[in-house]
Chain A
Amino acid sequence: MAFLEWRKFHFFDLHPNVDDGKLSELFKENKITTTSSGNNHLVLSDSLGQIYLVSRSWHTSCFRAYEISVDFTQQMTSAPILVTIGQDEPGVNPLIKVWDTSRLDKNGSPYCYRITRALPGNRPVQVSALCVHDNLQLMAVGFIDGSLIIYRGDVTRDRSSKQKVLRTSNSFITGLAFKSTASNVFLFVATEALVVVYNVTQKDKEQKYHLDNIGCAKKCCVLAESMQESHFMIGRDDAVYCYTSDGRGPCYAVDGEKIALEWFRSYLIIISKSTRSTNLTAMPASNENSINQSVVNETNSITVLDIHNKFIVFSTTMPKIKAILNEWGALYILDEANRVYHLDENDLQSKLSLLFKKNLYDIAIRIAKSHQYDSDGLVNIFKQYGDHLCDKSDFSGAIEQYIKTIGKLEPSYVIRKFLDSQHIEKLTMYLQALHKRGQATEDHTTLLLNCYTKLNNSLGQSDNLKEFILSKDGDFSYDIDVAIKVCRQGSPAEALMLSKKHEKHDWYIKIQLEDHRRYAEVLDYIANLKFEEAEHYMRKFGTVLVENAPHESTRLLKKLCTDYKPAGAECGPLTGNFDVTVRADPEEFIHLFLSNSERLIEFLEHLMGEGSVLSRPVYNTLLEHYLHVWSNSENVSDKNKLSQKILKLMQNPDVDYDKSQALVVCHMNSFKDGICILVFNGRFGHQEPTLWVQALWSCVRNKTNPSMDLLNEILTVIAKEKLFSPQLVVDAIGTGNANVTLGHIRSYITNELQQERKKTKEIAELTANYRRDTDKLKELLGKLKEDVVEIRGSRCAACHHTLELPKIHFLCEHSFHQHCFQSFSDDENECPTCQPENKDLLELLKAREHNKDLHETFHSHLEKAPDGFSVVAEYLSRGVFNRYKIIADEALQKTLEMAPERNNNVKREPATELATYGAGAEARLRQSEVKSKPRAAPVSEGRMRTQEHRYSHSLEANMEYWKPKSVAKSAVKSNPFQGGGVSCTNPFGEEDYDEAKNPFNDGEDEDEDSDRNNPFREDLRPF
């Protein structure tokens, strides 16, 4: 019989004497006949017809229910209803009584709802079983002759109750149990000879199903309600058989003659006659005394089965057991001597620790799961189990457990255990699971792939890696980049596959290029990509590709720059007109061909052939490489051919190349024809005027006489563009080796002189104008300051009606009615008529202030302007170096109170301008302004100019007037022209202003020499 039973554990403790002997005291003389429990008390009945209700504190209340005896009791668990069957008279005369234990009558005994005679048919039969449905609508009473009465209707009422007698069999009914499903109510009936079930859902339609041909003894059946499909269990000598309403269910072999079955939570408690002799030592030591005291001939064994987990969770032998009572969430056992034992279930923790001690982790897991143990706890068990299995060297088992910990347990814990090369397979399993759960980090991926590779090497299982790589994205989540990186080291084929699959073109190309050097394949691959990607990768890897597979790369590049389509994509005939193909910028690719001029030329020529318009650098490059090839080629005919090509290119008007660069390149390669074209084409002259100067130099230096036409041309341009001062020209020609006579340059010199003269005259006129204006303003100012201003205006400037008091006069000789003034003016200090003009002026000044700070604009102007100096001069005039703000002149305003307007204007202007006016070139600036070239300038500039025309004379004059004074006053320290060597030549920088040194004064004396003194007129212009 060894081990022919379930595993045994000790999950219960038996505590004796929990009632302090109160019950044994109570039942000293009388015998307990039947027991029940529910609704917070135990119900014990004695042979004298008395019923005892026992509370939790073992306090008993007693009442007499029957005259003779109580045979059956059932206390409803959820209602204070107690149903009893007993005898009031001698003989067989069973009476059903229904009590309300919550209501007491005047005698202190519970209220009795109903008394019904239990008679199956017309003859008295002894009752053998009682069962009341929890809904209190159904009651069944079984008799010893096998008949059965079903009472329908409220069990507490006599009237509404209908009874029906059913005949089950001829054998003694031993047990009854109601079972309700969602739609049906079944009544299980166990007799001594068979088991049947009735479907009692509908009245008068009771159906009987035969379940088995074996029966059980009294009390040896129970309904296991907490099971998934509640089973009706009957205990027989060999086993406990279970039944569902469908038929037989499982069967648990438990030896021993059963005395009683009881269901508690999910445990089946079996009381059976002990087959072995009493073994008192099996009891806990503390209990021994109490047990030993009673002289026990017959012992019972109590076995508690965990049906769900299939364990025996408690088993012991003890004195004869009378009843098992299940109340208050605990289990009490009453023995023949009326002693009460408490069967106490251990808590989960102690159960688990017991199992851990025995290393029965799998069972612990099962139990923990069935107790809805929280996941953290479970993970802990899995971990312990895994550790245990590890210790036992059952690594695959351990890994299985560890896999269950994924998500809670730190993976490194497990990985460290399995890092040994022997366990690589298990480690792989774990890592795979980790990936499947999406818990893997980069390192894990790396490790896993490394494992795969190692496994490949050692066992030749190359499928794993492939499988992993080719698995759908949902199966494994991992970092592809990492995967590729790792694969690349171990198994490049897989890396390629992986990168291709996940469209990691970067990796694919890199691997192909760096590891395999398969350039043609890479090019094919790129050709299959979308345009943007193809372009990107060509740019990225073009250098290597062009170097190693020049022809193929060039072909691809050509395609890219003309009409690229992914090689895979077929283009239907309908899309023939679809001409919006994207083209790559050839410039991007030129650098790829650095060392491969032939290919570059091929490439660029192809592009030109395609008629695409290329940018300037592209042409430059093409030219450069043409020349490079040209200079390197030995073959004369090739050279000629090339030079033809080059010349054609240079002369092609569509070809926009940088002439000066071309010149340099031509020089470098000593491509004379090119230089000729460039230089004498003259086209470059516009771009870079200094070339003309150089041309002049080269002209005159040549020993041979230059052609007069050329010299003339050069000179004309120099004169026109003012590239060189005439004196220098003469110098240059004089110092040159060439035989150039004065006659050659006569016309030039005369021209120049005439021009100079004209210019001088203009300047002199301008100066005179300015001076006149200044004088006028000076006079006006003096008047305003010292003289009385006579206001003669007789009409209001606003309404043109005759002025009447109250009126307002301004010094600008505008007069207003007060009400007119109030309705027209925005500011009571300003004359409304003059205000717009003044405002414009102020804005102009502000704009200048503002513009001067825009350094970047300045620089860009400077770069763009053909005449850098004038830009600088203009900026100086705007006060680039001026730190003074517009002087608000409030004090002055106050003294002049009502009409300071005109005056203000006059005063303000110089205040701003004077510091601005640091450079001696102002005159020239003005001069050029009069010419008013259109130039790139902010919008405000345009407005400024127009304004300036209006005020030009007076403003300039003002400046003249105010300048010396305020220079002296504020000692314009920020003016750079004052401190540097320049300042000495600048007459305005000096404190003792001397009219004689003003260049504007001696404008008429100005000749070529004075021009030379001007620091801004140096030959090599600083800008």
Chain B
Amino acid sequence: MSYAYLFKYIIIGDTGVGKSCLLLQFTDKRFQPVHDLTIGVEFGARMITIDSKQIKLQIWDTAGQEAFRSITRSYYRGAAGALLVYDITRRETFNHLTTWLDDARQHSNSNMVIMLIGNKSDLESRREVKKEEGEAFAREHGLVFMETSAKTAANVEEAFINTAKEIYEKIQEGVFDINNEANGIKIGPQHSPTNPSLPGSGSSGGSQGSGCC
């Protein structure tokens, strides 16, 4: 499947906040009430369209467990966008946001778009974190905020697509160096019409330069 851009996302947040479910809802449009712990990093991909351009989203869904932190950390670096997820029914997941954010900022490139997501908005009766609090946190740290429900699919599409839009805008503004793959952005093969068999030949100069060793 050809695409104009490929964006790499990472989903982070405490264990059990619904990261895997968000991904499953976004890629497979289904909800699994019982989900095994993510062991390591799961992976999903989906095509979206922004500005009439096909964009492939590759999403790393990381394990929230502390034990896997070292593995997941290595994934920050190649991501263009991050969904930082907390559970509105569990305050401690909200409290840990700062840690996650610091971690992300420290290991990722500075331009990474981070979206703050308060998941499980369907469980209004068990809400512990007010929407306003989430909004305030996002404002404070310069994040985009959204409450979602992986169960009802509310705002799930929007969360991923809005992030993609933001990244896309940044590319248009020239903030991202699209030739540096470490930014989590890749230009699709159809952007090199002269040589379609070679993916990313348009950015070949950049990719050769990225050989860091």
Contact = CB atoms under 8 A, between A and B. Distances in A.
Contact of A213 (B37, B200, B212): B212
User: Mostly helix, strand, loop or mixed at chain A's interface?
Assistant: loop
Given A183-B197, A238-B71, A251-B40, A246 B211 contact: no
Contacts of B50: none
A208 B186 CA distance: 15
Contacts of B200: 207, 209
A250 B41 contact: yes
A201 B199 CA distance: 11
A248 interface: yes
A246 B197 contact: no
A4 B71 contact: no
Given A194-B213, A213-B212, A310-B36, A207 B198 contact: yes
Contact of A7 (B36, B65, B75, B207): B36
Interface in A215-270: 238-240, 242, 245-254
Contacts of A213: 212-213
B207 A209 contact: yes
B102 to A, nearest CB: 22
B186 A201 contact: no
Contacts of B213: 169-170, 193-194, 210, 213
A247 B65 CA distance: 24
Contacts of A238: 70-71
Given A4-B65, A4-B68, A250 B40 contact: yes
Given A202-B197, A251-B71, A210 B39 contact: no
A248 B78 contact: yes
A184 interface: yes
Interface in B169-205: 181, 186, 196-201, 204
Contacts of B208: 207-208
Nearest to A169: B213
B186 A246 contact: yes
Contacts of B27: none
A242 B198 CA distance: 22
Interface in B1-48: 6, 8, 34, 36-37, 39-43
A210 B197 contact: no
Contacts of A245: 199
A239 B36 contact: no
A250 B20 CA distance: 13
A404 to B, nearest CB: 13
A636 interface: no
A168 to B, nearest CB: 9
A362 interface: yes
B44 to A, nearest CB: 9
A278 to B, nearest CB: 25
Interface residues of A, number: 38
B98 interface: no
A248 B40 CA distance: 13
B210 interface: yes
B39 A4 contact: yes
A301 interface: no
Nearest to A362: B34
A954 interface: no
B133 to A, nearest CB: 31
A207 B198 CA distance: 9
Nearest to B77: A213
Contact of A5 (B8, B39, B74, B198): B39
A184 B8 contact: no
A274 B6 CA distance: 40
A907 to B, nearest CB: 102
Contacts of A1: 67
Interface in B102-126: none
Contact of B71 (A199, A242, A246, A253): A253
A832 to B, nearest CB: 98
A541 interface: no
A205 interface: yes
A247 B186 contact: yes
B207 A246 contact: no
Contacts of B181: 209-210, 247
A239 B67 CA distance: 12
B145 interface: no
A184 B39 contact: no
A205 B204 CA distance: 11
A246 B42 contact: no
A248 B75 contact: yes
Contacts of A194: 213
Interface string B49-93: 000000000101001010110110011001000000000000000
A68 B108 CA distance: 51
A466 to B, nearest CB: 22
Given A3-B37, A201-B197, A205-B198, A250 B43 contact: yes
A114 B44 CA distance: 45
B58 A247 contact: yes
B7 to A, nearest CB: 11
Contacts of A5: 39
A6 interface: yes
B206 to A, nearest CB: 11
Given A1-B67, A213-B212, A242-B43, A247 B36 contact: no
A780 interface: no
B130 to A, nearest CB: 29
Interface in B146-189: 181, 186
A888 interface: no
Contacts of B207: 207-210
A202 B198 contact: yes
B70 to A, nearest CB: 7
A24 B201 CA distance: 53
Contact of B198 (A7, A199, A248): A199
A209 B201 CA distance: 11
A608 interface: no
Interface string A310-337: 1000000000000000000000000000
A214 interface: yes
B63 A253 contact: yes
A962 to B, nearest CB: 104
A198 to B, nearest CB: 12
Contacts of B41: 250-251
A275 to B, nearest CB: 15
A246 B187 CA distance: 11
Which of A4, A205, A253 has the most chain B CB within a 10 Å cutoff?
A: A253
Contacts of B34: 362
A51 B153 CA distance: 60
Contacts of A239: 40, 71
Given A184-B198, A184-B199, A246-B186, 16 more contacts: A169-B213, A183-B197, A201-B197, A201-B198, A207-B200, A207-B201, A208-B208, A210-B207, A213-B212, A239-B40, A240-B40, A247-B78, A248-B78, A252-B40, A253-B39, A253-B68
> What 7 pairs between A and B have smallest CB-CB spacing?
A250-B43, A253-B40, A251-B41, A251-B40, A252-B40, A253-B39, A249-B43
Interface of B: 6, 8, 34, 36-37, 39-43, 58, 60, 63, 65, 67-68, 70-71, 74-75, 78, 181, 186, 196-201, 204, 207-208, 210-213
17 contacts: A3-B37, A4-B65, A184-B197, A184-B198, A184-B199, A202-B198, A210-B211, A213-B212, A213-B213, A238-B70, A242-B43, A247-B181, A248-B78, A250-B43, A251-B75, A253-B67, A310-B36
Interface of A: 1, 3-7, 169-170, 183-184, 193-194, 199, 201-202, 205, 207-210, 213-214, 238-240, 242, 245-254, 310, 362
